[in-house]
Structure formats: structure tokens, C-alpha cells
């Protein structure tokens, strides 16, 4: 795919550059690489938000975090993993600690989200923050300068009681991790 062809996937909404791509597309990870290629020169920190409970769709962020942290060649600081998740109960405190430690860093936040039924499986890349908890009617904190959101289920589901397909979560997490490893190698 040529670079000029890639830009047809980018959408500009309210002055925010955005990319939506279904995770099943074979070139999804390359779109992640292209989206973040200009950030390679920046001081980057990645924050992966969610729970380490495997029976919920909210495990995507920590799954990505674990995949990145396990790669010894990945040199970008990553916070939030299956071993040490960043979730509703510790989010505010952890974000404050991370921002104090990485004062001038660009933060890429990764989180699962809810959306329309036909959008389940979309990976959304945006030049803005994530409002953690918004999908369940809460707003714990605004996190990040850029974000990767994945639509995991339909609006209105109880994310704690909704049983997720672990293969679905794993596939999306591997695609995101592959793209980030490629661009920030």
C-alpha cells in the first residue's frame, strides 16, 4: 500500500486526527506504525488501562502492556500490565506518579471501549486523550496525549458481567503490540 492510499483511512473530526481500522484487516498493524511514525523522535510513555480479570472485555489494555513489557528489545516505558494493572481503583494515583516521573513525555493511552454493534472490532487511533470509564457512565481521568481505543462490545453492556472471547482480546492485543513494537523499535 502506498502512503497516499493510507490517508484515506484517516478522518479529521473536531481538529483531531483519527484512524479507524477493523482488527481483521491484514494490514492493521502497519496502520498503527504509520500513525505513530512521527512520534519516534519524542519521549514516549505508554499507559495501558484496564483490569487483569480475564472474564471481562476490559483486559485489553493490560494484555497489550504485558506483551510490550515481555519484549526485552522494547525500550519505551510501559505502565499497566496483567501483573500490575492500572484500573479504576488506582488510576488517579498512578497517572499522577507517571506524569511526575516523565514530565515532558508524550503519553499514548491504550484502553478498551464500547461502541455501536457494527463497530465492534475497530481499533481507533486518535490525537487526543482517553476518558477512562466514560463507556460505563463514569469519568475517572483524562489520560494521554494520543490514544488507542478498541471497541470491544456494544454500548450498554455491563463490562464486568459481560463475558469476553479471550481469543478476540488476544488477537487485538497482539496487533496493537506488533504495531507499537515495529514503530518504536
At 38-89, the pLDDT tens digits run 888 889 999 999 988 766 778 899 999 999 999 999 999 999 999 999 988 8
Contact 111, 132 (CB under 8 A): yes
Q: Mean pLDDT, to the nearest integer, of 96-123?
A: 92
* This prediction's pTM: 0.85
CATH no. of 10-183: 3.40.50.1450
Cell of 5: 492510499
Q: Are strands 106-115 and 146-154 parallel, antiparallel or unpaired?
A: parallel
Q: How many CB atoms lie within 10 A of CB 133?
A: 17
Query: What distances in angstroms separate CA 57 from CA 49, 92, 102, 127, one per listed residue?
Result: 12, 21, 29, 23
The three-class DSSP label of residue 75 is coil
Q: Are 21 and 28 in contact (CB under 8 A)?
A: yes
Amino acid at each position: 500500500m502506498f502512503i497516499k492510499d493510507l490517508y484515506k483511512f484517516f478522518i479529521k473530526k473536531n481538529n483531531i486526527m483519527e484512524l479507524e481500522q477493523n482488527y481483521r484487516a491484514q494490514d492493521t498493524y502497519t496502520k498503527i506504525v504509520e500513525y505513530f511514525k512521527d512520534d519516534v523522535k519524542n519521549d514516549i510513555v505508554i499507559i495501558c488501562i484496564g483490569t487483569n480479570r480475564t472474564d471481562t472485555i476490559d483486559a485489553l489494555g493490560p494484555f497489550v502492556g504485558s506483551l510490550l513489557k515481555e519484549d526485552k528489545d522494547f525500550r519505551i516505558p510501559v505502565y499497566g500490565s496483567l501483573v500490575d494493572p492500572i484500573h479504576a481503583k488506582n488510576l488517579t494515583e498512578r497517572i499522577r506518579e507517571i506524569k511526575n516521573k516523565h514530565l515532558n513525555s508524550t503519553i499514548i493511552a491504550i484502553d478498551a471501549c464500547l461502541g455501536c454493534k457494527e463497530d465492534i472490532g475497530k481499533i481507533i487511533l486518535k490525537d487526543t486523550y482517553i476518558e477512562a470509564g466514560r463507556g460505563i457512565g463514569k469519568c475517572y481521568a483524562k489520560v494521554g496525549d494520543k490514544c488507542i481505543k478498541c471497541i470491544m462490545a456494544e454500548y450498554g453492556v455491563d463490562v464486568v458481567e459481560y463475558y469476553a472471547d479471550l481469543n478476540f482480546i488476544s488477537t487485538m492485543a497482539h496487533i496493537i503490540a506488533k504495531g507499537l513494537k515495529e514503530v518504536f523499535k
